[in-house]
Amino acid sequence: MVKIAISGKGGVGKTTLAAMLAYLFAKDGYSVTAIDCDSSINLPTVLGIKEDVRPMSELGEVIEERVKGPLGTFKYNPKVDDIFEEYSKKNEFGIRVLALGTIEKGGEGCFCPQNAFLRAILRHAIFREKDVLLLDMEAGIEHLGRGTAKGVDLLIAVVEPGMRSVETLKRIEKLAADLGIRKIGVVINKFIESESTKKLLERIDKEILGKIPYNQCFIRADLENIPPYKLECEIGAFEEIKNRIVELIGGV
Ligand X SMILES: Nc1ncnc2c1ncn2[C@@H]1O[C@H](COP(=O)(O)OP(=O)(O)OP(=O)(O)O)[C@@H](O)[C@H]1O
Site track 15-54 with Mg ion (rule: CB under 5 A), x = hit? x---------------------------------------
Task: Give the number of other Cβ atoms within 10 Å of residue 163's Cβ.
Answer: 10
- The interface with ligand X within residues 31-60 (CB under 6 A) comprises 38
Segment interacting with ligand X, rule: CB under 6 A, options 8-16, 22-30, 89-97, 104-112: 8-16
Q: In sequence order, what DSSP letters do the residues of 63-93 get, joined into one string?
A: HHHHHB-GGG-B-SS---HHHHHHH-EE-TT
Is the Cβ of residue 133 or residue 212 nearer to ligand X in the bound state?
212
CB of 18 to Mg ion, least distance (A): 8
Asked if 168 interacts with Mg ion (CB under 5 A), we say no
Whether residue 38 contacts residue 136, with contact meaning beta carbons closer than 8 Å, is answered with: yes
Asked if 115 interacts with ligand X (CB under 6 A), we say no
Distances from the Cα of 192 to the Cα of 67, 112, 214, 239, angstroms: 48, 44, 6, 19
The residue count for binding ligand X (CB under 6 A) is: 18
Task: Give the number of other Cβ atoms within 10 Å of residue 152's Cβ.
Answer: 25
Q: Which of 2, 4, 5, 12 binds ligand X (CB under 6 A)?
A: 12
Cα(76)–Cα(67) distance, rounded to whole angstroms? Answer: 8
Whether residue 190 contacts residue 13, with contact meaning beta carbons closer than 8 Å, is answered with: yes
Q: Which of 3, 5, 15, 132 binds ligand X (CB under 6 A)?
A: 15
Whether residue 95 contacts residue 34, with contact meaning beta carbons closer than 8 Å, is answered with: yes
Asked if 222 interacts with ligand X (CB under 6 A), we say yes
Asked if 91 interacts with ligand X (CB under 6 A), we say no
- The interface with ligand X within residues 189-208 (CB under 6 A) comprises 189-190
Asked if 14 interacts with ligand X (CB under 6 A), we say yes
Q: Which partner, ligand X, Mg ion, none, binds residue 12 by CB below 5 to 8 Å per kind? A: ligand X
Secondary structure tally for the chain: helices H, strands E? 10, 8
Which of 154, 160, 163, 156 shows the shortest CA–CA distance to 203?
A: 163
CB of 137 to Mg ion, least distance (A): 8
Is the Cβ of residue 8 or residue 48 nearer to ligand X in the bound state?
8
Residues forming contacts to ligand X in the complex (CB under 6 A) are 8, 10-16, 38, 139, 189-190, 212, 214-215, 218-219, 222
